Structure 1
Amino acid sequence: MTSTLPLFPLGTVLLPGASLPLHIFEPRYRQLTVDLVTGAVPDRSFGVVSIKQGWEVGAENVQALQAIGCSAVLQDTHRFPDGRFDLATVGGSRFRLLEVEENAAPYLVGKVEWLPDTPSPPELASVLPLLAASARAAHARYREAARFEREWFPEHSPEMFDDLAYRLASDCLMTMEDRQRLLEETVEARRLRLVRKVLHREAGLLAALRAVPAPLSEFGHPPNRN
């Protein structure tokens, strides 16, 4: 199934269910925000695609975009007197970017194909509870190594595994490459194995260095600025 979706290229990877604050100041994304709020764009949704290299992407260099992205759903807005916006969004569904409309203005618009999950093969489906438990253990080890003080409360039943890897990852600092790999994986069992591996690696590095990861504000300028 294909759809048309406004695109918002960013130097980050949005995962389903993850929160993404945005600070909007460019005219083209101000217009996108207005279109989202007024309903000109249906479902208050747009596509977040990670930029492979550089910081700006236009219709002339769309090859700089990752092929797999995630929709973002607008939840709340705050408009400043000068026309800037602060947005609260949350990750929705994965998609594959098929093409970018060359004549779309003022913001990029893409034709996308939605990417549902692929069922886990039987040999992996049978061990999903074990994979989930080991991924949670890796997450707990990471939080201990990072010296997180606030508690982590999972929102869903322990028996629900489809978005567990995303929820574990959204609580931790991970490279864009690791997040992109996690986003692109459509088999829940393999996602759990991937996030477990990454969290074990990062926890080991933190423990070896006896270091605490810097706050996100030191890695960029959240909320993300367009």
Structure 2
Amino acid sequence: MIETLPLFPLGTVLLPGASLPLRIFEARYRQLVLDLVNEVVPDRRFGVVGIRQGWEVGEDNVDAMYEIGCSARLGEVQQLPEGRYDTTSTGQHRFRLLQLDTEAAPYLMARVEWLPDSTPQQDSDQLRERLVASARAAHERYLATGLRVEGTTTPDDGTDFAELPYSLAENCVLAPEDRQRLLAETDPVARMRAIRSLLNRETEFVRRLRAVPAQLSEFAEHAGTN
């Protein structure tokens, strides 16, 4: 199904179910907030796409955006001085960008195609149980390093299999490229494997990084005695 959405390019990647707090100060996006609140845009819904390079997308560099994005529903809105807003939105559904429109509104508009999950190439109840257990274990090891996004919680045991990788990623400090990889993966089994792999990689990276200062200080002591 193809629809038209207002588009908000960001230097981060929004995942389904994730919270998105934003401070809005640019005139075009202040107008977007007003249009969402006043239901000029239906359902208070807009699209979020990650930016591959830089922090802003204009008419001359729209190709810098990722092809796969996530819709969001505007929630709380707090008006600030000088026409700014603090907003909170929630990620909803994945989409593929089809066509951009830089003229219909002060902000970007886009024709998008909703992107549902595909049928896993390998699947069984036993496989899913093993993957959930190993992904949650990887998540616990990651959180034990002390890296955690404030204000987030560990996913409930009843979290849907297809949504669990997004929920596990929400309270982890992952690079936009890694979050984009999860968003773009349509096979839920492959997505679970991907989040497990990412968490194991990041945990090992932190473990090795924390071992470096002790080694460097040892080298410094040796250098000082010569």
How many matched pairs?
209
**Aligned residue in 1 for 2:216:** none
> 2 CA distance for matches of 1:26 and 1:43?
22
**Aligned residue in 1 for 2:93:** 93
> Which protein has the larger Cα radius of gyration, Structure 1 or Structure 2?
2
> 1 CA distance for matches of 2:116 and 2:50?
19
Query: Structure 1-normalised TM-score?
Result: 0.87
> 2 CA distance for matches of 1:64 and 1:150?
31
> 1 CA distance for matches of 2:141 and 2:54?
34
> 1 CA distance for matches of 2:92 and 2:62?
22
**Aligned residue in 2 for 1:128:** 128
Q: Which amino acid aligns with 2:124?
A: A
Q: Which is worse superposed, 54-63 or 28-37? A: 54-63
Give the alignment's Cα RMSD to 1 decimal: 1.9
> Helix, strand or coil: the match of 2:144?
helix
**Aligned residue in 2 for 1:79:** 79
User: Any idea what the Cα deviations from partners look like across 1:114-165, whole Å, max 9, x if unmatched?
Assistant: 00111223x333411111111000000101122669994423515x201000
- Residues 117 and 147 of structure 1: CA distance in aligned 2, closer, same or farther (over 3 Å): closer
Alignment of 1:128-147 (within 5 A): 128-146=128-146
Q: Contact conserved, 1:69 with 1:97, CA < 8 A, in 2?
A: yes
> 1 CA distance for matches of 2:152 and 2:184?
29
- Residues 151 and 31 of structure 1: CA distance in aligned 2, closer, same or farther (over 3 Å): closer
User: Any idea what the Cα deviations from partners look like across 1:30-81, whole Å, max 9, x if unmatched?
Assistant: 0000000000001111111111112221233211111000011111000013
Q: Which is worse superposed, 99-108 or 88-97? A: 99-108
Q: Contact conserved, 1:49 with 1:70, CA < 8 A, in 2?
A: yes
1:155 matches 2:161? no
| Alignment gaps of 5+ in structure 2 | 212-226
**Aligned residue in 2 for 1:219:** none
- Residues 24 and 102 of structure 1: CA distance in aligned 2, closer, same or farther (over 3 Å): closer
Alignment of 1:97-116 (within 5 A): 97-116=97-116
| Alignment gaps of 5+ in structure 1 | 212-226
- Residues 152 and 101 of structure 1: CA distance in aligned 2, closer, same or farther (over 3 Å): closer
- Residues 152 and 86 of structure 1: CA distance in aligned 2, closer, same or farther (over 3 Å): closer
- Residues 145 and 98 of structure 1: CA distance in aligned 2, closer, same or farther (over 3 Å): same
Q: Which amino acid aligns with 1:209?
A: L
Query: Structure 2-normalised TM-score?
Result: 0.87
Q: Which amino acid aligns with 1:91?
A: G
User: Any idea what the Cα deviations from partners look like across 1:94-130, whole Å, max 9, x if unmatched?
Assistant: 0000010142220000000000111223x33341111
Q: Contact conserved, 1:14 with 1:48, CA < 8 A, in 2?
A: yes
> 1 CA distance for matches of 2:41 and 2:152?
37
Q: Contact conserved, 1:128 with 1:189, CA < 8 A, in 2?
A: yes
